[in-house]
């Protein structure tokens, strides 16, 4: 098992196209005292760009958890069950 770099933040990436849903999730995580670095993307293309460090996400940290809204059409083709 590799050592985890404790200097790097643990990133939670929230993928949802609805701003209100993103804010509700952020509020719930804050109320639960989750102190991780929370990032947002709005669609599947942006999510894949983040995960593969493409475009404006080239310098982003690795993601530990991805929370997504599976009711968006793109999710079903990009991430089939």
Q: Any idea which of 8-12, 22-26, 65-69 has the lowest mean pLDDT?
A: 65-69
| pLDDT score of 15 | 84
What predicted TM-score, i.e. pTM, was given to this entire model?
A: 0.66
pLDDT tens-digit map of 40-71 = 888 888 888 988 889 999 988 777 777 666 66
Our measurement of the distance from residue 70's CA atom to the centroid of its chain's CA atoms, rounded to an integer in Å, reads 13
CATH of 11-78, picked from 3.40.50.1970, 3.40.50.11540, 3.40.50.2000, 3.40.50.2300, is 3.40.50.2300
**Structure-model confidence comparison of residues 3 and 28, the more confident one:** 28
Q: How many Cβ atoms sit within 10 Å of the Cβ of residue 48?
A: 16
Report the percentage of the chain scoring pLDDT > 70: 69
Task: Report how far residue 54's alpha carbon sits from residue 59's, in angstroms, rounded to the nearest whole number.
Answer: 9
Structure-block tokens of residue 3: 């050592």
In Å, the largest CA–CA distance within the chain is 39
């Amino acid at each position: 098992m590799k050592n985890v770099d404790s200097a790097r933040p643990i990133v939670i990436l929230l993928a949802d196209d609805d701003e209100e849903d993103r804010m509700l999730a952020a509020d719930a995580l804050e109320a639960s005292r989750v102190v991780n670095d929370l990032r947002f993307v709005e669609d599947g293309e942006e999510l894949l760009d983040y995960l593969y460090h493409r475009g404006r996400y080239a310098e982003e940290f690795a993601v530990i958890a991805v929370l997504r809204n599976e009711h968006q059409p793109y999710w079903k083709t990009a991430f089939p069950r």
